[in-house]
Amino acid sequence: MNRQFHRLRVPAVLAFLTLFPLVMPYQALAVNILIFGLYAVGFNLLFGYTGMLSFGHAAFFGIGGYLTGIAMLDFAVPWPLAILAGVLCAMLGGGVIGFLAIRTRGIYFSMVTLALGQIVYYGFYKAEGWTGGENGLRGITVAPLHLLGIPIDFLNPLTKYYVILIFVGIALWFVSRVLNSPFGAVMEAIRENEKRAAACGYDVVRTKLLVFVLSAGLCGLAGALRALHLSIVPIDSLHYLQSGQAVMMCLLGGMGTFFGPFVGAAVYLLLEDTLTNLTSHWMGAVGIIFMLCVIFFPKGIWGSVLDWIEGWVVRSPWHPR
């Protein structure tokens, strides 16, 4: 895909997301897609662009949510600052887990992140006084806010969607900038060939750690926004199934593409929403659809769409040869 296209991708995605809730069956689902889309985008930075498959990213999603909630409930921090606290703590967690896991590669990296993610899960599970343990962290309420004289009521689902979209939009802009930057080029170089990247003079370990921390921060932001959205942080946020979801969403939508993880999140959640009404075995149905997608669209849904568009552009008569 050419660079002009890259410059337009953030405005295009934001325009789409602005209209998105109007075509969704209900707003809460749209908010969910927004949040999980961001979660998958954050994960994709590490997995799709740097080639590191983490099975522990629920840790950052959960830390972001819990710390935002704890900041608001126990320290009466206003919610925008509480989000910041959640993101910073997720990045800190990312620094620690990343530092430990980056020494390993491939399947060992995946297993170490999985194990460390589980440690975080049990830590939060046991710290009942702070986290509510099994019941999750409850009672997070967003005080009505007046922004430039305009009252912002978080109880209105559509208002909530657009407030969350502001955060997601800033995050997507940031991700797009990083991907277009020289650093983004180094990330891809490391994914393609670590040996060559090191021989080119790039510090592979330090670059990986920095990506890990950024990825953790983005997933933490998704978790923080979810805490505000649900008014509760369920302990499941930290569960390894939540980590697996990020992997599925990325593969479904198309790893290593900017918008793919968002598409993956939307498809996954829409499937879940539709199928839970039909059968209690919806997981099985999602699993089958997931397998079919991986077999027939190995580049993911969005990855395949991009391929078609590119093929069409190249074949078109006005394409320079």
Partner 1 sequence: MSAAILEVEGISQRFGAFQALKGVNVAFEAGRLSAIIGPNGAGKSTFFDIVSGARAPTEGRVRFLGRDLTGQPQHEFARVGIAKSFQITTIFKQLSVHENVRVAAQMRQARYQLLRERTAMHTVIEAADRLLERVGLSALGRRAAGDLAHGQQRCLEVAMALASDPQLLLMDEPTAGMSPEETGVMMGLISSLAKERTVILVEHKMKLVMGICERLVVLHHGEVLAEGSPHEIRNNAEVRRVYLGRR
Residues that bind partner 1 (CB under 8 A): 3, 177-178, 180-186, 188-189, 192-193, 195-196, 198-204, 207, 210
Positive/negative CA dihedral, 37, 41, 42, 43: positive
CB-nearer residue toward partner 1: 74 or 203: 203
CB-nearer residue toward partner 1: 49 or 167: 49
CB-nearer residue toward partner 1: 21 or 220: 220
Which of the 8 DSSP states describes residue 299? Answer: T
Apex 90 CA angle, 7 and 57, nearest 5:
80
CB of 186 to partner 1, least distance (A): 7
CB-nearer residue toward partner 1: 129 or 201: 201
CB of 206 to partner 1, least distance (A): 8
CA distance 90 to 84: 10
Centre a 10 Å sphere on the Cβ of residue 292 and count the other Cβ atoms it contains.
Answer: 10
CB-nearer residue toward partner 1: 1 or 241: 1
CB of 250 to partner 1, least distance (A): 17
Q: For residues 294 and 251, is the Cβ–Cβ distance under 8 A? A: yes
CB-nearer residue toward partner 1: 3 or 315: 3
CB of 102 to partner 1, least distance (A): 14
CB of 296 to partner 1, least distance (A): 21
Nearest-10 Cα torsion for 306, 308, 309, 311: 120
Q: What's the burial of 214, exposed, middle or buried (CB within 10 Å: 0-12/13-18/19+)?
A: buried
* Closest of 136, 152, 133 to residue 144, by C-alpha: 152
CB-nearer residue toward partner 1: 3 or 146: 3
CB-nearer residue toward partner 1: 14 or 178: 178
CB of 21 to partner 1, least distance (A): 30
CB of 43 to partner 1, least distance (A): 18
CB of 52 to partner 1, least distance (A): 16
Listing DSSP states for 94-159 in one string gives HHHHHHHHTTS-HHHHHHHHHHHHHHHHHHHHH-HHHH-GGG-EE------EEETTEEE-TTSHHH
Q: Distance of CA 318 to CAs 109, 217, 309, 313, Å?
A: 46, 43, 14, 8
